[in-house]
Amino acid sequence: MRKTRSKVPLSTAAVAGMMAASMAFVAPAHASPQDVLGYGARSSAMAGAGVAFGEGFETVYTNPSLLSLSKNKELDFGFTGAVFQLEANGPLGTDGLAAGVLGGVLPIPLPDPVGDRIVLGFGFYTPFDLVVRSRILYPETPQYLLPDSVESIAAIVGLGVDIGWGIHVGGGFEALAALAGSVLVSVDASGQLGAVVQDTLVANYAPIAGVSVDVPGGFRAGLTFRGSLEGRFDVRIDIKDLGQITVPPIFVSGTAQYDPLTVETEFARVTGPLRGAVAVGYRRWSAYPGLAEPTVRCPLDVNTFDIPLCAALRPAAPNFSDTVIARGSVEYTLVPRTGVELDFRAGYAFESAPGPEQTGADNLFAEARSVIGLGIGTAIVEPIVKGLHVDTFAQLGVIHGRTHEKDGSVDASNPGFPSIETGGTMFAAGATAGVAF
């Protein structure tokens, strides 16, 4: 948690500018980085697979029950990068991503009959240049919700338990950065207009739970539940001591990052040189609260404790829809010599569009997308060493664009008028290295 407090002189024009900016505040967001790219190089190479097919620290996100399959302590570190090429009636400038990944697993030795059945895991995803990003954009400005979604610190902790008979259960949580604060604008004793700013960096949490069952013949079935994870920003601006001018509290609030409630199941072949998995999932995007909250809030009715309707402007409802995920992945292991393994991986995933067609004044795009992943892993194991591996991946994401036709209520000056074509690509790559000890 971080707090800052400062007092700076402001002109009346600056106050007015602050108010105008707050009225236009929109924070593009879609989902957390692990939700977009996958977590770890092996899972990302297979387009996010891992509910039944996961290994190592990556399973804190994909399915924590699979942590119990790890028998050695392990520490992994790596990096991930991504670039976007998005279009909406022409190219849109977007920032890329550069981030570090850190993860590990720790078996907890206990006396028999429990033994080594309980394993703790952790994972961190950290952009190199920021904590969380929210941009101030007008709603009618053409913008995708995808690029900023990968710009946030994320932390995940999980615990897996082998309860026997091929059944594994696990649980944990993921945390996401959020921001809360206040700005007090007033006239001090010298007659100068100034501001006192306080902000606090906090964490929001969401549960993760999973179960997996080994099926005779070298197969495994898995099921994962992830609760909704919301990274909010909430800043209140109070302007006082302006003489005859009375300004109500102004709120710059909304959702900077959002992962919907997700349920995903996967069936995998997990033995032999050629392995693979298929998965389907459901994501509750219909519960998405939207990018921004009202800038001026209606007063509380002290008699009924309800928030009555008033003349304050309210953002348009996002009207997102629930989505479906389909995923397929394959992995082939080649053993050129004893103790050396080469793993070749590939995967494909598709998610339907959560966002509706933008027929009104807003131009906020959340489209269907496909992800194609490729990767190679190199492992040096016993009898050479206890365990050493390097995994690499590359991903191509295709944003399936469409034509957004504006209705008759939209002004001709709108950048999307009379229609706007969307589409684009994302390219991501990364690597992780790990050691068992």
Q: Look at 67-81, 232-246, 331-345 and tell me which has the smallest mean pLDDT.
A: 232-246
Average pLDDT on 325-336 reads: 97
Nearest of 144, 260, 156 to residue 203 by alpha carbon: 156
More confident site: 254 or 287: 287
Average pLDDT on 278-287 reads: 96
Asked whether the predicted pLDDT for residue 302 surpasses 80, the reply is: no
More confident site: 146 or 411: 411
Place of tokens 């897996």: 160
Any bridge partners for residue 327, and if so which?
279, 349
Highest mean pLDDT among 37-41, 56-60, 194-198: 56-60
Name the token pair of 148.
Answer: 């900023």
Q: With bands split at pLDDT 50, 70 and 90, how would you rate the model's confidence at 25?
A: very low
Q: With bands split at pLDDT 50, 70 and 90, how would you rate the model's confidence at 14?
A: very low
Average pLDDT on 202-218 reads: 94
Place of tokens 């707050």: 22
Nearest of 67, 50, 78, 79 to residue 105 by alpha carbon: 67
Contact 102, 126 (CB under 8 A): yes
Asked whether the predicted pLDDT for residue 2 surpasses 70, the reply is: no
Place of tokens 């082998």: 162
pLDDT for res 257? 80
Average pLDDT on 146-172 reads: 89
d(CA 39, CA 49): 10
d(CA 128, CA 81): 10
pLDDT for res 133? 63
pLDDT for res 386? 84
Q: Which amino acid is at 135?
A: R
Is 57 exposed, middle or buried, given 0-12, 13-18 or 19+ CB atoms closer than 10 A? buried
3-state secondary structure 70-93: CCCCEEEEEEEEEEEEEEECCEEC
Report long-range pairs for 380-386 (Cβ below 8 Å, ≥24 apart). 380/339, 380/340, 380/341, 381/339, 381/340, 381/341, 382/339, 383/338, 383/339, 384/338, 384/339, 384/340, 385/339, 386/72, 386/436, 386/437
Contact 16, 23 (CB under 8 A): no
End-to-end CA distance of the chain: 33
Label residues 20-42 b or e (16+ Cβ within 10 Å = b).
eebeebbbbbbbbbbbbbbbbbb
Mean residue pLDDT of the chain comes to 86
d(CA 373, CA 378): 17
Q: With bands split at pLDDT 50, 70 and 90, how would you rate the model's confidence at 344?
A: very high
User: Is the peptide bond between 289 and the residue preceding it cis, with omega within 30 degrees of 0?
Assistant: no
Domains defined along the chain, listed by start: 3-436 (2.40.160.60)
Asked whether the predicted pLDDT for residue 3 surpasses 50, the reply is: no
Instruction: Considering only CA atoms, give the Rg of the chain.
Output: 24
Name the token pair of 392.
Answer: 């690499």
pLDDT for res 427? 95
pLDDT digits over 366-424, tens only? Answer: 999 999 999 999 999 988 888 899 999 999 999 999 999 999 899 999 999 999 999 99
d(CA 15, CA 192): 13
